Amino acid sequence: MDRLNKTNNKLKAFTLAETLITILIIGILMAIMLRTISRVNPDKDKILFLKSYHAVESAISSIINDGTKYNQTYLSEADRTALPASERHHDFRDDPLDDASVMYVNNSGSASTKTNLGRSESICYFLADQFNTIGGVSCNNNSGIQVDGKTVSGANFRTSNGVCFDNWHGVSNTGQLDGVIDPNCEGASNGYVIRVFRDGKITVPETVSGYANQSKAYAWLQKQAEIK
């Protein structure tokens, strides 16, 4: 009887080959599952960035083509530069029209209306006016806003999906601006640069000094272009 039990025990044991095959199968199944899970739960930063990017793309196009913000009369460059600077108002190189106005909530929590917008601050205020924002809007400079009890350096406003827009104050005299979309509201250097040009076109540079993860945003846009 003891001999029979020993024989049965030997038959029930796994060989080394069987164990390795089992581990291999489990490994393959885990790899498939992880790949599926990653598709079901995509990169949060990627989703928030792309959503914000396309919102900015639409808003900037609307702003530059809005006759209440910029003069839509076509002028040659020679005719435009012949005008006094105070009368140009034709694109992001210029101050907006004198009667252009925006509604926003200031850092004190009060609703405010702003007119006589300057070139440097105009895009920031126009975007904040079009988006649903949380908390105060500060587009006069890039000193930051309060988010969850802390000051986020460089932030101008925060949208309803929790994304911060940083460094959108500072349009150059050529009409160019490097604004930042910061999905986690951790400060400008942790976000991704969006480059705005004087005619309203926008792009995502592949590399920008001081932004280590900029190439990620560039790759996200390239992938979208491949899908299309």
Secondary structure (DSSP) of 174-223: TS-EEEEEETT-S-GGGSEEEEE-TTS-EE--S-BTTBTTHHHHHHHHHH
Domain match, 13 and 82 both: no
Q: What is the mean pLDDT of residues 138-156?
A: 90
Is residue 10 over pLDDT 60?
no
Domain match, 206 and 194 both: yes
Domain match, 166 and 81 both: yes
Predicted model pTM: 0.79
What local confidence, expressed as pLDDT, does residue 157 receive? Answer: 95
Domain that holds residue 7: 2-40
What local confidence, expressed as pLDDT, does residue 193 receive? Answer: 97
Instruction: Name, of 13-22, 34-43, 89-98, 135-144, the range with top average pLDDT.
Output: 89-98
Q: What is the mean pLDDT of residues 19-46?
A: 74
Domain match, 108 and 35 both: no
Q: What is the mean pLDDT of residues 101-107?
A: 85
Q: ∠ CA 61-120-176 to the nearest 5 degrees?
A: 55
Domain match, 51 and 36 both: no
For residue 166, list its beta bridge partners.
155, 180
What local confidence, expressed as pLDDT, does residue 51 receive? Answer: 95
Is residue 228 over pLDDT 60?
no
Domain match, 80 and 6 both: no
Domain match, 12 and 77 both: no
Query: What does pLDDT average to over the chain?
Result: 88
Domain match, 49 and 35 both: no
Q: Which amino acid is at 74?
A: Y
Domain match, 86 and 158 both: yes
What local confidence, expressed as pLDDT, does residue 107 receive? Answer: 74
Is residue 190 over pLDDT 70?
yes
Domain match, 78 and 134 both: yes
What local confidence, expressed as pLDDT, does residue 19 receive? Answer: 77
Is residue 67 over pLDDT 80?
yes
Determine the distance from the C-alpha atom of residue 123 to the mean position of all C-alpha atoms in its chain, rounded to a whole number: 15
Q: What is the mean pLDDT of residues 2-28?
A: 67
CA-closest candidate to residue 89, choices 61, 63, 128? 63
Domain match, 12 and 87 both: no
What local confidence, expressed as pLDDT, does residue 74 receive? Answer: 92
Cα–Cα distance measured from residue 84 to residue 182, given in angstroms and rounded to the nearest whole number:
38
Domain match, 19 and 101 both: no
The count of structural domains within the chain is: 2
Is residue 225 over pLDDT 80?
no
CA-closest candidate to residue 221, choices 41, 39, 53, 48? 53
